[in-house]
Chain A
Amino acid sequence: MVNKKVSRRQFLNYTLTGVGGFMAAGMLMPMLRFAIDPALQVKAEGDFILTSQKIADLTDVPVRVDFTYEQVDAWYKSEVSEMAWVYKEGDRIVALSPVCKHLGCTVNWEGDRPNEYFCACHGGRYEKNGKNIPGTPPTGPLDEYEVSEKDGYLMLGKKIPNTLV
């Protein structure tokens, strides 16, 4: 047996480097983690919200599709309910926002005349594809929602300017 004695100086050197190394790593790791954080964020399916509307049930007549999501405003958490008018145009699914482009009321399908959206507030009218009918208060077409599908159910994404008009 070789009896190698560790000197007091050596022992202190080893322990201090060891502990110092751990401390440095402890400080650097979170910094590194923060630096590359955006790359690690999981994108929740591009912020699409699943609805209970079956794609197969859609027709060329707009139906109302309700959906909810949680909104956090400072310390105030609230559940926001929104809806969309959804119909099929050939193979394409169109989801329109019901928010009137005049002052933000909710428009209804065939609320006044057939085959049109109608805003009860100031009589705004839109065609089925969301195009505002000239001579009524709205100044632009209804917004559209991005659409996606999951297991046969409709998913709605971000609101985008109308692409049909």
Chain B
Amino acid sequence: MYFQVKDVQQYQQNKEFIDTAIVPLVYLDFAEDKMVKSSSDVEFLMSLTSFIEQQFKGRLMLIPPFSYTESTRSEQVVPILKKNIQEGGFKHVIFITCDHYWTNLQKEVDVIWLPAIPIESMDKDVKKRILEEQLKQVIPVLTSKWTQQ
């Protein structure tokens, strides 16, 4: 599900089934030489998270990306964000990012870090295959969360 009126209404009626929130952590860099790389990372992460959403629509909600720059990146904010989302009824909050910085936080929050793959120049089928491969990295994390309880 997406963070959209229709989906949120459905979520509120089916809270017992939709117990997971996925939050993309998106690093923005506006330096002349890094902006392209930054946008490429974002494009990859957005495509991947939409793909995850499509596969697990009925169990998770894809939260709009949490974006930050180097100076607004803060270790304190993410655990609070997690807490707030949990208060909304999501049992599991999983952050997904291409920014290595967040792996430090792995003890406090669930972070899936994936190296970005520049998919923007790829042909449709190759792109799809890559995203499927990446999805396979994410599925075990989700299922281990779901079977824990």
Residues of chain A within 8 A of B56, CB atoms compared: 105-106, 120-121
Q: CB of A122 within 8 A of chain B?
A: yes
Q: How far is the CA of A137 from the CA of B16 in the complex (A)?
A: 12
> Contact size class for B?
10 to 19
Nearest CB in chain B: distance from A160 CB, A: 21
Nearest CB in chain A: distance from B83 CB, A: 25
- State whether A103 touches B55 (Cβ < 8 A): no
Interface members, chain B 1-31 (any A CB < 8 Å):
10, 14, 17-18
Q: CB of A88 within 8 A of chain B?
A: no
- State whether A120 touches B57 (Cβ < 8 A): no
Given A120-B143, A121-B58, A121-B59, check contact A103 B17 (CB 8 Å): yes
Number of residues on chain A facing chain B (CB within 8 A):
15
Q: CB of A60 within 8 A of chain B?
A: no
- State whether A122 touches B54 (Cβ < 8 A): no
- State whether A68 touches B17 (Cβ < 8 A): no
Q: How far is the CA of A119 from the CA of B143 in the complex (A)?
A: 12
Interface string of A58-86 (1 = CB under 8 A from B): 00000000101000000000010100000
Residues of chain A within 8 A of B128, CB atoms compared: 66, 81
Q: CB of B136 within 8 A of chain A?
A: no
- State whether B59 touches A105 (Cβ < 8 A): yes
- State whether A103 touches B18 (Cβ < 8 A): yes
Q: Which of A79, A100, A103, A106 contacts B14 (CB 8 A)?
A: A103
Residues of chain A within 8 A of B124, CB atoms compared: 68, 79
Q: How far is the CA of A81 from the CA of B51 in the complex (A)?
A: 10
Interface members, chain B 108-149 (any A CB < 8 Å):
124, 128, 139, 143
Residues of chain A within 8 A of B58, CB atoms compared: 100, 102-105, 119, 121-122
Residues of chain B within 8 A of A119, CB atoms compared: 58
Residues of chain A within 8 A of B10, CB atoms compared: 103
A79, closest chain B residue (CB): B124
Residues of chain A within 8 A of B57, CB atoms compared: 103-106, 121
Residues of chain A within 8 A of B18, CB atoms compared: 103
Q: How far is the CA of A135 from the CA of B10 in the complex (A)?
A: 22
B58, closest chain A residue (CB): A103
Q: How far is the CA of A125 from the CA of B124 in the complex (A)?
A: 31
B14, closest chain A residue (CB): A103
Q: How far is the CA of A104 from the CA of B18 in the complex (A)?
A: 11
B143, closest chain A residue (CB): A120
Interface string of A90-107 (1 = CB under 8 A from B): 000000000010111110
Q: How far is the CA of A68 from the CA of B54 in the complex (A)?
A: 14
Q: How far is the CA of A104 from the CA of B53 in the complex (A)?
A: 10
Residues of chain B within 8 A of A66, CB atoms compared: 128
Residues of chain B within 8 A of A121, CB atoms compared: 17, 56-59
**What 8 A-B pairs are tightest by C-beta distance, nearest first?**
A103-B58, A121-B59, A104-B57, A105-B58, A121-B58, A106-B55, A104-B58, A105-B57
5 A-B residue pairs with Cβ-Cβ distance under 8 Å, sorted by A, are A68-B124, A103-B10, A105-B56, A121-B59, A122-B59
